[in-house]
Amino acid sequence: MWIFIVGLAVFILGAIGVAVWRALQFKKLAERGVPVTGTVVHRFQSGKAGGPERTKRITYSYTGPDGREYQRSASMTRGRWEQYPEGAPVQLICLPDDPGVSAEATLVAAARAALAAKKP
């Protein structure tokens, strides 16, 4: 029983840690991110094959401000996923001092709006 409780606690703490880490990345992207245009290189679904709610994902590549090529994957809703066929451009925001950190520009715009709404 203790092993189950410890395992569950580790899982929950890990999930919280990942959520906080990504939230901090989004805060940085909203505050000082720069726009780049990427290209969808792969569309795929993850999760149980034939399952009703498979996660929709794309893999995109882009050139960072440092001139290096980066490749990342992102989950998204079915509607957004359908907007991105392979080879399509995708508007992104990346960190100039850490160009491997990126997100879809519309998501960063929402983060910017949320941060602006918090300011007095």
Tell me how far the alpha carbon of residue 23 is from its chain's centroid: 10
Domain containing 63: what range? 24-118
What does the pLDDT read at residue 116?
79
- Whether 2 is in a domain gets the answer no
pLDDT at 87 > cutoff 90: yes
Give the integer Cα–Cα distance in Å for 77 and 57. Answer: 9
Mean pLDDT over the full length of the chain? 84
The CATH number given to whatever domain includes residue 42 is 2.40.50
* Cβ contacts of 48 within 8 Å, gap of 6 or more: 54
Total number of domains constituting the chain = 1
- Whether 93 is in a domain gets the answer yes
What predicted TM-score, i.e. pTM, was given to this entire model?
0.77
- Whether 52 is in a domain gets the answer yes
- Whether 33 is in a domain gets the answer yes
pLDDT at 119 > cutoff 60: yes
Q: Give the pLDDT confidence of 18-75 residue by residue, as tens digits.
A: 555 666 776 889 899 999 999 999 999 887 766 667 788 999 999 999 999 999 999 8
- Within the chain, strands assigned E span 34-46, 55-63, 69-76, 89-95, 98-104
Tell me how far the alpha carbon of residue 116 is from its chain's centroid: 21
- Whether 34 is in a domain gets the answer yes
